[in-house]
């Protein structure tokens, strides 16, 4: 079952409503890691990548790739932390028609590209506090997922049995929930390193020029983190 993004709105409202300590040490959290898109069996109904696989040769997990991000962290007391950030992941996947070739025997090739750049607001709970040598946390929030999806290359017109060259592009921004879980290990008063798992869920509606009417923007980020306090 897909988590409604209203939960993310509620967590964001709680975070904004909390009074920040007058001398809170804010921090910059840098992340780098790997993003895995939602697998074929878990994607939304009508997903364009699933629809494309009926004609084209590629794997859904070909869209997995590097993820980079930065987040501003503001503590609220010993156990809560608000974060606002942005991240980026992009992948271009080559594909060919599975059962068709051009009249001269050449493969009919395309490039499928998916870029997602989430803008996020999260609220974290540190159950043991931020003063410990080991700081696990869990939380959630809302993301605004700026996306760009394109199909560029050669395509088959099955009505005329011809091959034509074209590009199909969709872009926009969609809201959705985020859940985060991670752990930090301070190495000095200013620096902490750690790891984080971040789940996201969102869906974009596409025009009729695509084989599928929807694009699943969900997936999981596996991240290494470095927090720099000011």
Span 104-116, average pLDDT: 96
Report the alpha-carbon distance of residue 95 to residue 27 in Å, rounded: 42
Grade residue 24 by pLDDT with cuts at 50, 70 and 90: low
User: Average of pLDDT values for 20-35?
Assistant: 81
Question: How is domain 7-15+26-229 classified at the architecture level of CATH?
Answer: Beta Barrel (2.40)
Mean pLDDT of 36-64: 97
CA-angle at 170, arms to 168 and 175, nearest 5°: 160
- pLDDT of 101 higher than 70: yes
- Report how far residue 97's alpha carbon sits from residue 116's, in angstroms, rounded to the nearest whole number: 26
* β-bridge partners, 101: 107
Say how many CA atoms lie within 13 Å of 202 toward its Cβ.
24
Per the listing, tokens 């306090």 go with: 229
Share of the chain above pLDDT 90, in %: 86
Instruction: Give the pLDDT score at 25.
Output: 82
CB atoms within 10 A of CB 228: 12
Q: Give the residue with greater pLDDT, 68 vs 11.
A: 68
The predicted model scores a pTM of 0.88
């Amino acid at each position: 079952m897909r988590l409604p993004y209203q939960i993310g709105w509620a967590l964001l409202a709680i975070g904004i409503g909390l009074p920040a300590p007058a001398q809170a040490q804010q921090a910059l959290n840098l992340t780098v890691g790997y993003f895995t898109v939602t697998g074929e069996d878990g994607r939304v109904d009508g997903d364009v990548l699933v629809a494309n696989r009926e004609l084209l040769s590629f794997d859904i997990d070909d869209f997995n790739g590097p993820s980079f991000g930065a987040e501003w962290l503001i503590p609220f007391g010993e156990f809560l932390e608000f974060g606002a950030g942005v991240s980026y992941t992009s992948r271009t996947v080559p594909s060919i028609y599975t059962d068709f070739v051009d009249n001269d025997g050449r493969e009919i090739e395309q490039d499928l590209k998916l870029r997602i750049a989430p803008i996020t607001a999260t609220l974290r709970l540190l159950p043991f506090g931020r003063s410990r040598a080991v700081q696990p946390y869990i939380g959630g929030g809302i993301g605004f997922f700026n996306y760009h999806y394109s199909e560029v290359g050669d395509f088959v017109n099955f009505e005329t049995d011809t091959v034509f060259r074209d590009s199909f592009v969709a872009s926009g921004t969609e809201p959705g929930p985020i859940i985060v879980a991670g752990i930090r290990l301070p190495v000095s008063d200013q620096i902490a390193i750690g790891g984080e798992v971040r789940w996201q869920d969102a869906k974009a509606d596409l025009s009729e020029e695509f084989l599928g009417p929807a694009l699943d923007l969900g997936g999981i980020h596996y991240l290494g983190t470095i927090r720099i306090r000011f």
